[in-house]
């Protein structure tokens, strides 16, 4: 078979359970189709539960503790940094990007950095900022808003939201026609429908939603009844179990949490579900174009998101925590002829494993030292075993890391723990008996041995992942 085309679908701030085939509260027929025709990984963890460090990790295969980028900050990836995109291009592909990358600062005019994007490994680029950045930086999209006289109203809407109540729920001033996620879908469809090169294509479609604010346009804004949304996870009064334990960044966030009302949370979740369904419809349109070209049977598809959204869980909004709602993300892989349709894998996966997976699919090679792993071997071993199981031998990683603000979390198929910046265990959950993370066992003497063993594994992983950043294996 000739080299497959490659479609990378990425969303921003999509929870792991915001799939019809998982949580059931957001309708996603296009994404459910990809899952049904490929494999769904139920235990994929973001390398960092915020945009910039995890997107940098995806591009490079390096952890935040390698790059030194531990949170959102003014950072630009070096033009000399090897990436998975360069490796796919070197394998003979024409690479393209429509949407958000956040590999350089979201300021000024993004169109002026298309040369930089080509150095990163992307040939054809139409980049946008995220929802917040689009209120201040130019792109082809925001220039179009300005030409229609819509940009200032968008800016004013954002100013009002964040000056008063950031979790305000109301439709975007842009309307569906000019909404960012519609723009990204349309640009990708136009590009693919006109693609006429001899090279196989690798198209990265990177939506800015369902990232807050909660501003899905009509008809999606009223698509879901807030009363039908699942209730948020509470923070139990005995969450610490009475234990004396070290504190970390999550404790600071819980102490200053916005604690939206039950009605506000329901409204946020309904609007969020609408945005997820909007994106799903855009993806369905992209699939239709590929099918019309007769290329669907020879197209590898990977779908994921950079991190989740608390959406009222534990009284929190946004991301920036190691809790499942923020750190766990959807991951779907469709590789025709490679894995049994409808496969489900529960093995830990780290989100930057997407890069080597795409390079392997392209027949390319990553020559720089990195710590991401291709999902290819586990794809080959998967077989459908039901809605919550994996075939024997389908282990990808024994554990996965997630990092933020000099803190590190690790999970395996049973445990999740987190070390604060001083290296002390301040979170510990038994995910088998407590999948909703309601009982923090850190500081409980009965689990001291477990905490010590997990901490040692984290330290071993840190030692094993100390690269010469520009060297080779």
Give all domains of the chain, ordered by start, each with its CATH number: 5-240+258-397 (3.40.720.10)
Tens digit of each residue's pLDDT, the chain (473 residues): 589 999 999 999 999 999 999 999 999 999 999 999 999 999 999 999 999 999 999 999 999 999 998 887 778 999 999 999 999 999 999 999 999 999 999 889 999 999 999 999 999 999 999 999 999 999 999 999 999 999 999 999 999 998 989 899 999 999 999 999 999 999 999 999 999 999 999 999 999 999 999 999 999 999 999 999 999 999 888 888 777 899 999 999 998 888 899 999 999 999 999 999 999 999 999 999 999 999 999 999 999 999 999 999 999 999 999 999 999 999 999 999 888 889 999 999 999 999 999 999 999 999 999 999 999 999 988 754 444 444 444 789 999 999 999 999 999 999 999 999 999 999 999 999 999 999 999 999 999 999 999 999 999 999 898 865 444 33
Kindly list the distances between the CA atom of residue 69 and the CA atoms of 104, 295, 387, 402, in Å, as whole numbers in the listed order. 12, 39, 37, 13
Beta strands 44-45 and 349-350: pairing type?
parallel
CA gyration radius, the chain: 21
Beta strands 331-334 and 299-305: pairing type?
antiparallel
pLDDT at residue 468 in the model:
57
pLDDT at residue 257 in the model:
83
pLDDT at residue 472 in the model:
37
3-state DSSP assignment of residue 415: strand
Q: At what angle do helices 262-292 and 180-194 cross, to 10 degrees?
A: 10
Number of H helices, E strands in the chain: 15, 15
Rounded Cα distance between 261 and 123, Å, is 46
Residue 430 phi, psi (nearest 5): -90, 100
Sheet holding 299-305, edge to edge: 124-127, 94-99, 201-210, 5-12, 299-305, 331-334, 39-41, 343-345
């Amino acid at each position: 078979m000739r080299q497959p085309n490659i479609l990378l679908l990425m969303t921003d701030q999509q929870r792991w359970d915001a799939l019809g085939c998982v949580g059931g509260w957001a309708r996603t027929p296009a994404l459910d189709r990809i899952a049904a025709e490929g494999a769904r990984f139920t235990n994929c963890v973001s390398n960092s539960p915020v945009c910039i460090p995890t997107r940098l990790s995806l591009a490079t295969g390096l952890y935040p503790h390698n790059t030194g980028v531990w949170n959102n900050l003014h950072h630009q990836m070096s033009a000399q940094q090897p990436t998975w995109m360069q490796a796919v291009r070197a394998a003979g592909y024409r690479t393209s990007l429509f949407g958000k990358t956040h590999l350089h600062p979201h300021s000024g005019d993004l169109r002026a950095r298309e040369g930089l994007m080509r150095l990163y490994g992307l040939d054809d680029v139409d980049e946008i900022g995220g929802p917040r950045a689009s209120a201040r930086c130019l792109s082809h999209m925001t220039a179009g808003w300005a030409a229609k006289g819509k940009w200032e109203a968008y800016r004013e809407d954002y100013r009002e939201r964040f000056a008063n109540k950031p979790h305000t729920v109301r439709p975007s001033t842009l309307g569906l026609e000019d909404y960012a996620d519609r723009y990204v879908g349309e640009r990708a469809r136009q590009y693919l429908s006109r693609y006429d090169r001899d090279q196989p294509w690798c198209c990265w479609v990177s939506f800015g939603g369902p990232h807050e604010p909660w501003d899905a346009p009509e008809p999606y804004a009223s698509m879901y009844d807030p009363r039908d949304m699942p209730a948020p996870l509470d923070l139990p009064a005995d969450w610490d179990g009475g234990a004396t334990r070290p504190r970390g960044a999550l404790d600071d966030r819980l102490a200053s949490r916005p604690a939206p009302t039950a009605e506000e949370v329901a409204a946020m979740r309904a609007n969020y579900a609408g945005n997820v369904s909007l994106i799903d419809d855009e993806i369905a349109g992209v699939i239709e174009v590929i099918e019309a070209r007769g290329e669907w049977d020879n197209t590898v598809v990977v779908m994921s998101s950079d991190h989740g959204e608390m959406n009222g869980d534990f009284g929190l909004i946004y991301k920036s925590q190691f809790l499942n709602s923020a750190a766990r993300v959807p991951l779907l892989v469709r590789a025709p002829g490679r894995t049994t349709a409808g496969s489900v894998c529960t093995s830990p996966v780290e989100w930057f494993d997407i890069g080597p997976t795409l390079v392997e699919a392209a027949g390319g090679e990553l020559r720089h030292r990195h710590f991401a792993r291709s999902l290819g071997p586990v794809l080959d071993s998967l077989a459908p075993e039901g809605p919550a199981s994996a075939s024997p031998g389908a282990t990808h990683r024994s554990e996965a890391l997630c990092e933020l603000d000099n803190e590190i979390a690790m999970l395996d198929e049973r445990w999740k723990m987190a070390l604060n910046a001083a290296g002390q265990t301040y979170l510990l959950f038994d995910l088998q008996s407590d999948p909703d993370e309601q009982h923090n066992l850190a500081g409980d003497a009965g689990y001291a041995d477990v905490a010590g063993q997990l901490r040692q594994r984290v330290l071993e992983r840190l030692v094993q992942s100390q690269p010469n950043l520009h060297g080779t294996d």
